[in-house]
Structure 1
Amino acid sequence: MAISLKHFSGMLLLSAALLGSGPALGGITYKLEQAHASAGETVDITAVLFNDGDNALEYTAPKNLVVQWRNQNGQPIRSLAYLAGGGGSVTVPVNTFVKLAWKAVVPSTVHGLQAVNIEGTPTMLALDTSPLDKSAIAGTAADVPVVDAGAARVQGQTDPVLPTNVVVAAGASPNQGPAPNNSVAMASSSSDGFDRFRNAISPYEPIYFDAGRNHGRTDARFQISFKYRLFQPKDPINPDFIDNFYLGYTQTSLWDLSAESHPFVDTSFKPSLFWRKDALFFSPEKSAFLGLATGVEHESNGKDGDDSRAINFGYIQPEFNYRFDGGGTLTFAPKIKAYFGSGDKNPDYADYAGHVDWKLRFAQDNGLVLSGLYRQGTAGRNSTQIEAAWPLRRTFLNMNGYLHVQYFKGYGETILGYNQKVGSQFRVGLALIP
């Protein structure tokens, strides 16, 4: 498949014409895990941060929340809640959510029924701090029927009792709170330079370290990758067009562990500049959505002489996503490339790597991640890479990261050996980002 620069520029213009979307949504809801706690006891404040917008959401959870306690007379007491579980920087993909938690100690001067407010948010919670045997909330059952409170306003009478079948069909849960206020800002308001940098940097390609013994030799392959948002959105929930420009950097190395000096076989350095939006369009039920990335990338191995390799290409990458009700996302993302200015060291690179990276990925929420990459060159030249990852927190190790397995066969495992075919390569290791 050959794509000229003229045709590629046409695709860029077409993609630019399609860059538009409806309003982005996102929010955070808080709840108290306990309905009753006495002074001096610890309560858990949990939050669900959801992203119903059209870009991945970068969020830094505050280490402390200021909690207001008010009794029936409105007298306030303020205390701190402390973030549980360490670091609070998270990335929330489109149409998904994450959970956060803080712990707070009930102040010693708090008594009776309390209205609890997370300062700076419209959230209002309730906690009964009376002794359990005297508690009107936690110690007494609500043996009364459910009424239709709206009917009295219309008919001018007392609230009628709802039929049993209506109440059962409602399926109300005590664990579900009101819809969040969409106007709540999702990003840290800190002006500290490091916090701004931390909020602008995020994962890009997978990050892993794998090793294996193949064809009588032991080697390792590892990769680091990140992207940096060039402009800070004024509204993180609904960024402007210019806020979707990124600098990307990926570095992939193949390390020979069998040779005496353990040399690196080759390393690819891949800086890039691109525009990316995770969701341009949603289906009516929002289970399917279309994203787009487009930009330019350079790849070279930093060597000179006969071992020097370098390529440049522009690309456009539509991303077709389907979100399953069970909590997994399937993504098909073909990366269509047009090469330019690659020099005379590897003029036939496209004959081996082709013009399209065919990518397929399935990721369960907090579960299995499967991904595949296929490239088709000319004259039957091709390469296949398949990866699987499983979160180590869901094993007896209970540690961060993922167990990572990688399979590769074909051309282009390194840019130095882009025209050399390798047999099946199996490696196992640790992935930070699968």
Structure 2
Amino acid sequence: MLSYPASLISSPLRALILAALLGTAAPAAAGITYQLERPSAAPGETVRIQAVFFNDGGSVARWQPPAQMVVQWRSPDGTIVRSLAMLASQHSSLSVPVNNFARVAWSTVVPRHAKGLQALSIEGESIMMALDVSGRDSGTLASTPAQGPVVDASTGEPVPVAEVTAAGAQPDAGPAPTEAAQAEWQALPTGFDSFRSALSEYKPMYFAVGTRGETTARFQISAKYRLFNPPAGREASFGENFYLGYTQVSLWDLEGDSKPFIDTTFNPSVFWLSDNMWTSPEQNWRLGLNTGVEHMSNGKDGEDSRSLNDAYIQPAINYRFDGGSTLTFAPKVKAYFAVANENSDYRDYAGFVDWNLRWAQDNGAVVSAMYRQGASRHRTTQLDFAWPLRRTFLNMNGYLHLQYFNGYGETLLGYNQRNESQFRIGLSIVP
């Protein structure tokens, strides 16, 4: 905990600053919490006050963050300065679904003559924060480590070392707030940490089994790798939205003597993706975009070889319902090139557009549909339904997955073979 020389602080102000230190991120009314972005700053610098509005009610909540608000700076000598904080983003009403949150920030300038530990409050809100505005050339409150043991606040007696260690702290000293902030920004991740932070799900991942003439399993694995991670606390720039993707779809014969794989489609890609290129002022409409180049091959040679390439663009229009679900329409428009001779008429069966529609509840059902129209009467339809198993008596990870397929292209090898209605049931990891 930060402290200040008692001789410089009157008793009422000392209590006020102590409350500020203990309540840096204390909640305000209406489910809003406020917090300063950093523990210290110099006079004349701009700092940001961050606010999070969380809706834990039973219906959608609307929040109108003010374009500006008045903040009070209270110095150790009793001086009070009132100044303005300006909203950093567009001034609009936010629509926050159930069990979701919205985040905004205001910018304000530290008063020119501020010095020492400042108790910062927002007029009209029961919140107080603390900012160290001491000189940076000397030891400051926020940059001075806390020397000494952890004590029982009511008795002043040292707490047993085992309890302090169990809390993840050092027995004899604690870091300064600025050190903790610098460690958060400057800590170098390991190679695996960097890989893990850049890797995420891409297309659905599932394993489903069905019987129609013969018992088969169809499964899909998919992931994407971000090439450039944006720094924490900043939205990604254009160049930081490039990804490498990989998807693999296999059809497995579960009745054959050696349980052979009928065919596997390997689908690497490179693409640019942004899930939020534009959002409506009410926060219920959102526009995203995925565009890139992909390769598809079944990895075989000779007469069974199949391969092609395409460039695509896939806008995604999302509508957020007040009840806590999202409807997404994402048509994928494709232009083929470098198509192998063995499947030169692939476009006649797959067409040039995948019409995708998806409805997803928060922590609930996920329903998706894909339709393709090739030349003549070459139509393909796939329907998927997923339900979280945590909401069943099993209380386990994953989703119950149901799939219906009818048409062409269940495998790349059989792109021109019609598959009659096929139902499958299984488990999905990513619906």
Give the shorter-chain TM-score range.
0.5 to 0.7
Structure 2 residue 349 is the aligned partner of structure 1 residue 324:
no
Task: Tell me the TM-score normalised to structure 1 length.
Answer: 0.60
Greater Cα radius of gyration, structure 1 or 2 = 2
Structure 2 residue 293 is the aligned partner of structure 1 residue 302:
no
Give the match for residue 191 of structure 1.
189
- C-alpha spacing 1:322/1:267, structure 2 compared with 1 (3 Å): same
Give the match for residue 407 of structure 2.
410
C-alpha separation in 1, matches of 2:297 and 2:208: 22
Give the match for residue 200 of structure 2.
202
Give the match for residue 311 of structure 2.
314
- C-alpha spacing 1:311/1:51, structure 2 compared with 1 (3 Å): farther
| 1:428, distance to aligned residue in structure 2 (A) | 0.5
- Equivalent positions of 1:238-317 (< 5 A) are 238-317=235-314
One-letter identity of the residue aligned with 1:331: T
Partner of residue 361 from structure 1, selected from 358, 361, 364: 358
- C-alpha spacing 1:409/1:283, structure 2 compared with 1 (3 Å): same
Partner of residue 346 from structure 1, selected from 343, 346, 352: 343
Report the identity percentage: 57
- C-alpha spacing 1:191/1:339, structure 2 compared with 1 (3 Å): same
Give the match for residue 11 of structure 1.
none
| 1:240, distance to aligned residue in structure 2 (A) | 1.2
C-alpha separation in 2, matches of 1:361 and 1:282: 19
- C-alpha spacing 1:329/1:260, structure 2 compared with 1 (3 Å): same
| 1:186, distance to aligned residue in structure 2 (A) | 10
The alignment of Structure 1 onto Structure 2 pairs a total of residues equal to 289
Range with bigger deviation, 235-244 or 187-196: 187-196
Contact 2:278 2:286 in 1 (8 A): yes
One-letter identity of the residue aligned with 1:198: R
C-alpha separation in 2, matches of 1:242 and 1:236: 17
C-alpha separation in 1, matches of 2:344 and 2:258: 32
Alignment deviations for residues 348-404 of structure 1 (CA, whole Å, 9 cap, x no partner):
101000000000001111100000100000101110000000011111111100000
| 1:52, distance to aligned residue in structure 2 (A) | 5.9
- C-alpha spacing 1:213/1:283, structure 2 compared with 1 (3 Å): same
C-alpha separation in 1, matches of 2:366 and 2:151: 43
Contact 2:52 2:103 in 1 (8 A): no
- C-alpha spacing 1:319/1:105, structure 2 compared with 1 (3 Å): same
Alignment deviations for residues 71-128 of structure 1 (CA, whole Å, 9 cap, x no partner):
59999989999xxxxxxxxxxxxxxxxxxxxxx9799xxxxxxxxxxx969xxxxxxx
| 1:27, distance to aligned residue in structure 2 (A) | 7.9
- C-alpha spacing 1:323/1:259, structure 2 compared with 1 (3 Å): same
C-alpha separation in 1, matches of 2:427 and 2:402: 8
Alignment deviations for residues 258-292 of structure 1 (CA, whole Å, 9 cap, x no partner):
11111101000000000000011111101111000
- C-alpha spacing 1:194/1:336, structure 2 compared with 1 (3 Å): same
C-alpha separation in 2, matches of 1:318 and 1:69: 58
- C-alpha spacing 1:78/1:259, structure 2 compared with 1 (3 Å): same
**SS where residue 278 of structure 1 aligns?**
strand
C-alpha separation in 2, matches of 1:394 and 1:415: 36
Contact 2:327 2:359 in 1 (8 A): yes
| 1:239, distance to aligned residue in structure 2 (A) | 1.1
C-alpha separation in 2, matches of 1:79 and 1:335: 60
- C-alpha spacing 1:308/1:326, structure 2 compared with 1 (3 Å): same
C-alpha separation in 2, matches of 1:355 and 1:341: 15
- Equivalent positions of 1:35-74 (< 5 A) are none
Runs of 4+ off more than 4 Å? 25-30, 48-53, 68-81, 104-107, 183-190
C-alpha separation in 2, matches of 1:256 and 1:72: 70
- C-alpha spacing 1:422/1:196, structure 2 compared with 1 (3 Å): same
Contact 1:27 1:50 in 2 (8 A): no
One-letter identity of the residue aligned with 1:204: Y
- C-alpha spacing 1:362/1:49, structure 2 compared with 1 (3 Å): closer
Unmatched runs of 5 consecutive residues or more in structure 2: 1-48, 55-98, 105-149, 170-175
Structure 2 residue 390 is the aligned partner of structure 1 residue 393:
yes
Contact 1:316 1:336 in 2 (8 A): yes
One-letter identity of the residue aligned with 1:207: M
- C-alpha spacing 1:368/1:309, structure 2 compared with 1 (3 Å): same
Tell me the C-alpha RMSD between the 2 structures: 3.9
Contact 1:205 1:226 in 2 (8 A): yes
C-alpha separation in 2, matches of 1:227 and 1:381: 31
Give the match for residue 372 of structure 2.
375
| 1:430, distance to aligned residue in structure 2 (A) | 0.5
C-alpha separation in 2, matches of 1:75 and 1:332: 63
C-alpha separation in 2, matches of 1:80 and 1:314: 60
**SS where residue 362 of structure 1 aligns?**
strand
| 1:237, distance to aligned residue in structure 2 (A) | 3.8
**SS where residue 366 of structure 1 aligns?**
coil
- C-alpha spacing 1:350/1:78, structure 2 compared with 1 (3 Å): farther
Partner of residue 231 from structure 2, selected from 213, 234, 239: 234
- C-alpha spacing 1:78/1:408, structure 2 compared with 1 (3 Å): farther
**SS where residue 345 of structure 1 aligns?**
helix
- Equivalent positions of 1:411-426 (< 5 A) are 411-426=408-423
One-letter identity of the residue aligned with 2:250: S
One-letter identity of the residue aligned with 1:273: V
Unmatched runs of 5 consecutive residues or more in structure 1: 1-24, 31-47, 54-67, 82-103, 108-118, 122-182
- C-alpha spacing 1:428/1:381, structure 2 compared with 1 (3 Å): same
Give the match for residue 431 of structure 1.
428
